[in-house]
Amino acid sequence: MSTDSELPGTYYPGLEGVISNETAITNLEGRKGDGDLEYRGYRIEDLAEHVSYEEAAYLLLHGELPNAGQLAEFDSRLRSQRQIPGELIDLLRHIPREAHSMDVLRTSLSVISHFDPEVNAISTDHAANVRKAERIVAKTATAVAARERLLAGQEPLAPDASLSHAGNFLYMATGKKPSASMTRAFDLSLVLYAEHELNASTFAARVTVSTLSDIYSGIVAAVGTLKGPLHGGANEEAWKVLVEVGSPDNAEHWIQDALATKKRIMGFGHRVYKTGDPRARILKVWCRKLADEIGEDKWEKIAEPIEREVTAQKKLPPNVDWPTARLYHYMGLETDVYTPIFALARVAGWSAHIIEQLDSNRLMRPRARYTGPANRPVKPIQERR
């Protein structure tokens, strides 16, 4: 067996703290140095206040915020590319209802890839990858919404070219034109979910394309990774917490009992943000706005003592998944679509990382520490026990 001195490097469980890539896309240290978030040098607080998802996606894919003309052209391209193949709609009709929503999205993206006019472009063709990424951003939202309509026993709706990316998704998913505040809140959540450096799904995407595979394969790998409840499924689990509590009258007792019994409460803590997730702080304000708009403050009253006590007693502030669970409920969205929404926002960030990887590629091939038995001779089969 190899000794520690012969190993290729230090063992870091879960790769925590390992720097495997250089990136110009996202900075999680920011100006504070204690856990901030910037997309290509712009603080998330500033982006949240001033830009739409379309602008954030353009920034991630093209490297700079668009001017008015560039945004108009980009937005026009997205709107013109929202339609998904009829063959995919037919397939969605036949996928079992009990299939996991992320499995359905994984399949949908694979099907969409077959109809991409540049599917066979060289994997390192930067311009082609950007064009494919734009189509992926546009069509992923349509595929997710179509599945939701079919699950509700209704026909998928055609995209509405008069609506923004956020407004159109809400319309296609719910069948109702959203209010301005609903559209703004959903758009904001997409901006905040769009990118987050080298998380598990992004790393999976970069590993996949480091073999010179294509952008669709990288996105599908990312979707499969995001499916796990330790990554993308946390917003669904956060909603289950609120439902389990059930009533504001139960909240104080429930959280004290949960803390005493060391119950895991999803939606709190973050491996990077130790002093609080800036995205959660931004969305908390919009949870209150939408709760007031629909006249349903029950969930805010349940969430408040849980957030207060987990932060005070466990020093775990809420992460972005805690407020989004309530935000999406206020919009009339079903729980099963929460993680696909994460994905339809994150495809912009995944694509940016895939393009960056392919622009300056090196095959990712880490090593493992061997912990099995030492070198053993092979015995004749009659001597084996």
Tally of CB atoms within 10 A around 114: 11
Least Cα distance to 307 among 291, 329, 283, 331 occurs for 283
Q: What token pair was written down for 49?
A: 């206040």
Sequential DSSP letters for 78-91: HHHT----HHHHHH
Estimate to the nearest angstrom the gap between the alpha carbon of 284 and the chain centroid.
18
Q: Please count the CA atoms within 13 angstroms of the CA of 85 that sit on its side-chain side.
A: 14
Catalytic residue check, 36: no
Q: Which helix (H) or strand (E) holds 27?
A: strand 26-27
Q: How many residues does the chain have?
A: 385
Q: Which residues contact 311 (CB under 8 A, 6 or more apart)?
A: 268, 317, 318
Sequential DSSP letters for 268-297: B--SS-SS--HHHHHHHHHHHHHHHHHT--
Tally of CB atoms within 10 A around 49: 11
Q: Which of 165, 196, 270, 329 is catalytic?
A: 270
Catalytic residue check, 321: yes
Q: Which residues contact 187 (CB under 8 A, 6 or more apart)?
A: 52, 53, 164, 165, 166, 167
153-187: string of b/e by CB count within 10 Å (b at 16+)?
eeebbebeeebbbbbbbbbbbbeeebeeebbbbbb
Burial (CB count within 10 angstroms: exposed 0-12, middle 13-18, buried 19+), residue 228 = middle
Cα separations in angstroms, 291 against 14, 136, 186, 266, 326: 39, 32, 14, 21, 9
Residue type, 33: G
Do the beta carbons of residue 87 and residue 99 sit within 8 Å?
no
Q: Can you give the C-alpha Rg of the chain in angstroms?
A: 22
Q: Which of 36, 116, 277, 321 is catalytic?
A: 321
Q: Which residues are catalytic?
A: 270, 321
